[in-house]
Structure 1
Amino acid sequence: MAKRTICVAAAIICITATQTSAATFNNIIIEKLNSESALELSETNDTSKIYNLDEVVVVSQPKEALLLRQQPLSSAMFTSSEINSIGITDLSSLACYVPSFVMPAYGSRLTSSMYIRGIGSRVNNPAIGIYLDGVPLVNKTAFNIHTYQIARADILRGPQGTLYGMNTEGGLIRLYSKDPMTYQGTDLHIGIGTHFQRDIEAAHFGKINNNTAFSIAGFYSGSNGFFRNTTTGERADNYNEAGGKMRLTTKLTNRLTADITADYQYVRQNAFPYGQLNLETNRPDAPSANRQSNYTRNMLNTGLNLKYQAERFTLNSTTSYQFLDDCMKMDQDYLAADLMHMEQRQLMNAITQELTIRNNTHGKWKRATGLYGSYQWLRTDAPVFFDKDFTGRISDGIQTVMYNAILKSMTDKMVAAGMPQTAAEKAAAAAIEKAGGISVDANMKVPATFNTPQFNIGVYHESNINITDKLTATLGLRYDYNRVKVHYDTYATMAITANVMGQSMTNTLTSVLNNASHDNYSQLLPKVGLSYTIDSKGSNVYATICKGYRAGGYNIQMFSDILQHELNENNNKAMTGSYDIPHTQADYDEISNTISYKPEESWNYEVGAHINLFDNKMHADLAAYYMQIRNQQLSVMAGEYGFGRMMVNAGKSISWGFEAALRGSAFNNYLSWSAGYGLTRATFKEYNETSDNTEISYNGKRVPFIPMHTANARADYKIKINGSAIKSVVIGADVTAQGRIYWNEANTYSQPFYALVGAHTDVNFSDVSLKLWCRNLTDTHYNTFAFDSSASGQTVYLAQRGTPIQAGFDINIHF
């Protein structure tokens, strides 16, 4: 009991220190508490209290004055032990255990789509933000990363624009690495699973002296994949990835601390394992593209966090540099036919700077004020190649027109000379054939380079005012300014070589587009919230109103479609000679209007509760929300031919729902469990589309890619073993579920509700643990993504099957 009391007291002292002393505030303080003790966490200037379960990971936040479950928002928090127990290595696996949050693992690591409460994005700007060790990741391509050596993960649901700005309309994810100031030693992880899944991680945490600590870590992960391309014979989804990260934390003076981080990751994978979908059975065929798609990415994220702790205020500065160099190669028709393929190479450099000042004084008014700025340079090279099965259709069409014209001309002359019509046609055809016949060959290419820089600046303030001992008001406002620009340099050429009765001629049809456009957007992002403490254990209810938005921009994916349309509209002009399609300023203005899309805006109205029950043995977090979305951004197939996806503004939509998350312990803390459920109903309110001169209304239809139901449950039971080298055995099981998910705006096909079951057994020694795990035990068939494409000339339905049953074995060592 004495040991238990000392441990609890130490944790309270550490937590209080984060509010009142000049200790290392950028660090994460981790204290393991005895499971039979209830830990009471309190801030010296807050009357409300938070009760946590067996593990506490306290994070000093430069912006928020209140602890997470004191704030008027819906949130989830995962500690290091929970992350390890579930076996989380990326955000897509973490999302399965959070209500109303999905991150489908489809396509490639380029495709990092996330959806919270019906808000999300497949392409262009994200709708959910990510902060990694205090650094905001600015490019969506960098979101789907390997996560390791994580001490804590926070998921905040609902708009977070007041404190975090644009592209946090659906929510925010915060990831924190283990802190070498409070965690020392060496960790080693080795894992192997079916389909030759292999994982190796190593990390060392050490102190140079009492004021300076460091960590260095590295990983390698790979898999032979689950699906084979039936046309090429290659694995359609195998991958290899590796990386390393370092962290240096130092106390420069009694008041000033510095925290430097760097994280590099490399991935090379076969990608986009889509097969043709049978709508009746809802099962896709194996991938069959004639070209194997793949994706390669090099990425570096660095950050410098400085914290100055004065008596009356704390000043935080976060500076980051982010680099990304990637290459995607895609068979755009996903079929065995050789129709078209593309490459996309991105080169990004970005810098961010944020300054936040927060008061430390005791009293009823806690406030934070900040200034944020970022600049992103992004160059994209995206050539599109039209292959023989596509150009063959053009060649055949032109050849048929030419042949019929020459045949008619010769036949008419013979008929005029007195020959019967039928005989004249046969004679003309024979003469053409004898002279060498008529053949046409078309060759097309669409090289393209795009520069799309973005500049963003925001200034914000948030106050938390204790109106009474139990009632706290949260008032916040942000002004956000965003400038987006596109400079495109692209062209399309179609070289038509005609061999006409022994004579050859090549004509070239060309369309060149070289211009620039820019837009400026500004937003006011308010937040108003009330929190009321309802008991002495820190339980509270809240209500909040806040605004969020996702930035506008330009669809560079559309240019191949625009250029191809221009070539087809003018191909008759290449019959008599080469032709360059002219463009006026009016043409460029029309292109600018076509490729641009507006920011998406939303208002979130929410009520909820954070409740501590049964002497702190259970937590319940409840929320109900109603969201109004204007200028809904929607990912659709581009233009007439569907050469890739683009973003459009789909009018208005409404999303409403309910979230419940429970977690607790029982049987003297030998049993730990959690469960969650989210209901999301996202529907179009005003969305009309014109197709073949017919207006189609999608009003009342469900927004695609959003599951209506998300659910999860997990339980771990620990069996202690005395008098043995084995200290304990943990037996656990979990289930995650989601659905129904509609795949298009018309809601004509969908993925029904499905559930995945997993299990694991851990054998724990003093410094070694062994884990046997299995995922998708029932080998449930489901699709993670489906879409339709007209790139082949007819509508084809394609889908990616979800991961089948997996099993593996992990070894974790700490010394």
Structure 2
Amino acid sequence: MKKMMLLLLSAVAFWGGDAFGKDRGKVTPSDSVEITKRLEPVIVYSHRRAEDLHIVPLSVSAFTPSKIEREGIVGIKDVTARIPNFYMPDYGNKVNSPIYIRGIGSKFNTPSVAFYVDNVPYFDKSTFDFDLFDVKSIEIFRGPQGTLFGRNSMGGTVSVYSKEPSSTMRNRLVASYGDYNFMRFLASHSNTYGKVGVAAGVSYAKRDGFFTNSFNGKKVDNLENLNTKFSVSYKPNETFTVKVIGGFGLNNDGGNPFNVYDASTGAFKDVNFNEESYYTRNMVNGAAVLSKKFGDFELRNVTSYQYFQDHQHLDNDYTAEDLYTNDFLQYQNLITDELVFLTPKIGKWSSQTGAFFFSQKMDKGFDIKNGNDVSRYMGVKDPSKTKNIPNAAVNTQTGEKSNGIAFFHQSQFSDVFIKGLNVSLGGRLDYENKKFDYYNAVKLPNPIVITTPSGVIKVPLPANVPNPMVTTKDYSKDKLVFLPKATVSYDLLGQNVYASWGLGYKSGGFNTSYDKSNPKTIAYNPEFAENVEMGVKTKWLDSRLMANVSVFYTDWRDQQINVFLPSGEGLMITNAGHSFTKGAELEVNAIPFTNVQLYGAYGYTVAKFLDYRMNDATVYDGNYLPFVPRSTLSLGGSYRINLDDRGNSTIVLGVDYERVGKHYWNDANAFSKFANAPSFQRPWFNINATVGYTYKNLNLTLRGKNLTNERYNTYMYEYEVEKFQNLYAQKAKPRMVFVELTYRF
């Protein structure tokens, strides 16, 4: 069966997939075989008004419902490389889901890219990775978006919008099955009942792991998740709308399938660790949206609440030895409210003015426990000062309460001085207060038992060593910033030429682990990015060809970076002095023939440290920023074959090519303890393909991902505690083929 699937996919590898019909109520024959002769306008919603992407004077990309379904996008990670200079590495599990746009991102601390779902902000990147379904748009803005989106939108903004309740009944059932015992089931309903609109859906997915733990023969990275969403709107008249949206997600994932580097062979060993690992997450979202129109003016308010709780248990050394285990827990309560007043175009002027408030409470807990085998790596002379002590445990608990308020305004002026010249000016005043509670307890066994080749040594703790050793701290900090932005655009013979300047900001914070000899390291400062860009958006050949080009330069100051603690146990965040990113982007969409669509996206980024000195002996000036691909490339196309004149039967063929360029793994651009190991990831690519058949309301699709079974690493890092040191890597997911059956009614 698998061979037949692969042969079928390979036979059509020069074509691209397309959606099986438009999702506009009940599916009719015309929905399934709509003739495509020109590119339809793409609408973006993130500026709180529906706008044609072609006239928005910003670097923004958008995925329509047909593109989302055609390319099989079920999570934000699937967008990697399909957007210029957009990279979301697919490694580990959902607890760490960083996003990088134009080289700006954050792996360990507060995200540098804002994330919104239906105008509701998601503050923590542990909430970014979830199943997407019934989505009408995915919009990605590149570059600082501080004026309208505020804090932590330095790299850009990702906005996801769900489909609205339909005016006629729309139901959808989806069932998928494939390699690695992959299963996915989806059911959704949408309809309007008088003045009430209802949309609801539920998805369930399960998959065995791609990698096997040779220690116990079990799969490592299995997953199982359940997600629901709903929207209920009430519109008593044409000027007033009330909408309640919400949902919850339950996730139960396996551990990280890290491989240990073998310096003697220059290769990575198979996955082999003794402690079973897992990650669980529960997340609940809810929001109330009120909209009141006064003629062409509109007052809109969005109040939201988000709760998530997660727990990660892992083998911290990823070896068969009994060394280190780690439990990491998070609890978040987040309340936000945004009030916006939108004015229509009055003469040459329009605007939006608003206020934003948030209150976030984040509690975290860390439990690190040492096993019996750590004595092989510890120093014996002064065991009271080493952390490599068998059966020692460290418990850290932190509580961070953040409150913020912001006021923002943006004005748009059209036909300034000359026809077609437009100017947008905006600013945001952002205030934030953070309070931080820190508790740390180190519990040591007494006596300390050390196993050596010559026998067992028992060393009592000195009388002056407290046990447990407890540290508590309370901190507070405030920050007030102003984030301006200016954009100029000009309609040049129907093409949109633009330039913009803006300031982005990411808040500072507190470390959950820090250098005890330097208490000031418990806090780190905010970072700022000043961005300049120019671009042009074009349409040609009666909208059969669209091409967008942009260039940018971002000056990045006080970048928050991760460094190892002096003890080697754990990481802390500090600020580098000065960095930059610069590059170019290109997007092309074309319909060269009826029912044939081609598309491509290319991004190029150079991101380096200008001034980064860890100490007198360690200088990283001129090094490349880690986790930043030099380039991203996506190519693909779609071809639809109508099998009858009545539109009851169609075939869809498809392929997509994605390539991610060279990128380094750490600030040093090298692994200090493993000089012969690869210090960077070479460019890698994936080929994905689809073959589909539609008969009336029934769709059968065969999808394949990474068809050539490319092998590369999605993450690498080195870890050292005294005499214990290892280099780890996680391999990319292998080829996967699955079939998908969809029924609409």
TM over 0.5: yes
Compare the two structures and name the one with the higher helix fraction. Answer: 1
Separation of aligned partners in 2, 1:330 and 1:103? 22
Separation of aligned partners in 2, 1:553 and 1:731? 49
Q: Are the counterparts in 2 of residues 227 and 235 from structure 1 also a CA contact under 8 Å?
A: yes
User: Does residue 805 in structure 1 map to residue 735 in structure 2?
Assistant: yes
- Identity, in percent, stands at 28
Separation of aligned partners in 1, 2:457 and 2:59? 76
Corresponding residue for 1:482? 432
Corresponding residue for 2:651? 729
Unaligned runs of 5+ in 2: 1-21, 25-30, 451-455, 671-678
Secondary structure, in 3 states, of the residue corresponding to 1:145? coil
Q: Which amino acid aligns with 1:651?
A: G
The Cα of 1:647 is off from its aligned counterpart by 2.2
For residues 313-357 of structure 1, what are the alpha-carbon distances to aligned partners after superposition, in whole Å with 9 as ceiling and x for unaligned?
111100000000111112222222222111111111110000000
Separation of aligned partners in 1, 2:440 and 2:384? 30
Q: 1:234 to 1:648 in 2, by over 3 A?
A: farther
Q: 1:505 to 1:728 in 2, by over 3 A?
A: closer
Separation of aligned partners in 1, 2:458 and 2:630? 64
The Cα of 1:791 is off from its aligned counterpart by 3.4
Q: Which moved more, 1:711-720 or 1:224-233?
A: 224-233
Q: 1:658 to 1:395 in 2, by over 3 A?
A: closer
Q: 1:633 to 1:554 in 2, by over 3 A?
A: same
Secondary structure, in 3 states, of the residue corresponding to 1:349? strand
Separation of aligned partners in 2, 1:484 and 1:609? 41
The Cα of 1:289 is off from its aligned counterpart by 2.1
User: Does residue 769 in structure 1 map to residue 699 in structure 2?
Assistant: yes
User: Does residue 257 in structure 1 map to residue 215 in structure 2?
Assistant: no
Q: Which moved more, 1:269-278 or 1:163-172?
A: 269-278
Corresponding residue for 1:446? 394
Q: Are the counterparts in 2 of residues 276 and 796 from structure 1 also a CA contact under 8 Å?
A: yes
Corresponding residue for 1:634? 561
Corresponding residue for 1:679? 604
Corresponding residue for 1:160? 145
Corresponding residue for 1:233? 217
The Cα of 1:642 is off from its aligned counterpart by 3.6
The Cα of 1:505 is off from its aligned counterpart by 6.4
Q: Which moved more, 1:516-525 or 1:619-628?
A: 516-525
Secondary structure, in 3 states, of the residue corresponding to 1:69? helix
Q: Are the counterparts in 2 of residues 392 and 441 from structure 1 also a CA contact under 8 Å?
A: no
Q: Are the counterparts in 2 of residues 712 and 737 from structure 1 also a CA contact under 8 Å?
A: yes
The structure whose RCO (Cα within 8 Å, separation 6+) is larger is 2
1:530 to 488, 497, 500: 488
Q: Which moved more, 1:308-317 or 1:724-733?
A: 724-733
The Cα of 1:698 is off from its aligned counterpart by 0.9
Separation of aligned partners in 1, 2:642 and 2:196? 37
Separation of aligned partners in 1, 2:400 and 2:705? 41
Q: Which amino acid aligns with 1:111?
A: N
Separation of aligned partners in 1, 2:269 and 2:410? 53
Q: Which amino acid aligns with 1:512?
A: V
User: Does residue 667 in structure 1 map to residue 590 in structure 2?
Assistant: no
Q: Which amino acid aligns with 2:430?
A: D
Q: Are the counterparts in 2 of residues 186 and 204 from structure 1 also a CA contact under 8 Å?
A: yes
Corresponding residue for 2:347? 363
Q: Which amino acid aligns with 1:811?
A: L
Q: 1:32 to 1:350 in 2, by over 3 A?
A: farther
Q: 1:711 to 1:499 in 2, by over 3 A?
A: closer
User: Does residue 103 in structure 1 map to residue 88 in structure 2?
Assistant: yes
User: Once superposed, what is the RMSD of the aligned Cα atoms?
Assistant: 2.7
Separation of aligned partners in 1, 2:404 and 2:197? 34
Secondary structure, in 3 states, of the residue corresponding to 1:382? strand
1:651 to 577, 581, 586: 577
Q: Which amino acid aligns with 2:625?
A: V
User: Does residue 185 in structure 1 map to residue 170 in structure 2?
Assistant: yes
1:585-604 alignment, distance < 5 Å: 590-591=518-519, 593-604=520-531
The Cα of 1:607 is off from its aligned counterpart by 0.2
User: Does residue 68 in structure 1 map to residue 16 in structure 2?
Assistant: no
Q: Which amino acid aligns with 1:674?
A: Y
User: Does residue 715 in structure 1 map to residue 637 in structure 2?
Assistant: yes
Q: Which moved more, 1:610-619 or 1:716-725?
A: 716-725
Q: Are the counterparts in 2 of residues 369 and 460 from structure 1 also a CA contact under 8 Å?
A: yes
The Cα of 1:80 is off from its aligned counterpart by 0.8
Q: Which amino acid aligns with 1:716?
A: S
2:306 to 305, 322, 325: 322
Corresponding residue for 2:203? 219
Q: 1:745 to 1:395 in 2, by over 3 A?
A: closer
Q: Are the counterparts in 1 of residues 559 and 576 from structure 2 also a CA contact under 8 Å?
A: yes
2:508 to 523, 546, 552: 552
1:746-765 alignment, distance < 5 Å: 746-748=668-670, 749-765=679-695
Separation of aligned partners in 2, 1:320 and 1:265? 16
Q: Which amino acid aligns with 1:648?
A: T
User: Does residue 462 in structure 1 map to residue 410 in structure 2?
Assistant: yes
User: Does residue 290 in structure 1 map to residue 269 in structure 2?
Assistant: no
Q: Are the counterparts in 2 of residues 726 and 763 from structure 1 also a CA contact under 8 Å?
A: no
Q: Are the counterparts in 1 of residues 261 and 267 from structure 2 also a CA contact under 8 Å?
A: yes
The Cα of 1:743 is off from its aligned counterpart by 0.5
Q: Are the counterparts in 1 of residues 377 and 722 from structure 2 also a CA contact under 8 Å?
A: no
Separation of aligned partners in 1, 2:460 and 2:153? 57
Q: Which amino acid aligns with 2:696?
A: S
Q: Which amino acid aligns with 1:389?
A: D
Separation of aligned partners in 1, 2:59 and 2:544? 20
Q: Are the counterparts in 2 of residues 169 and 602 from structure 1 also a CA contact under 8 Å?
A: yes
The Cα of 1:496 is off from its aligned counterpart by 2.3
Q: Which amino acid aligns with 1:731?
A: L
Corresponding residue for 1:703? 625
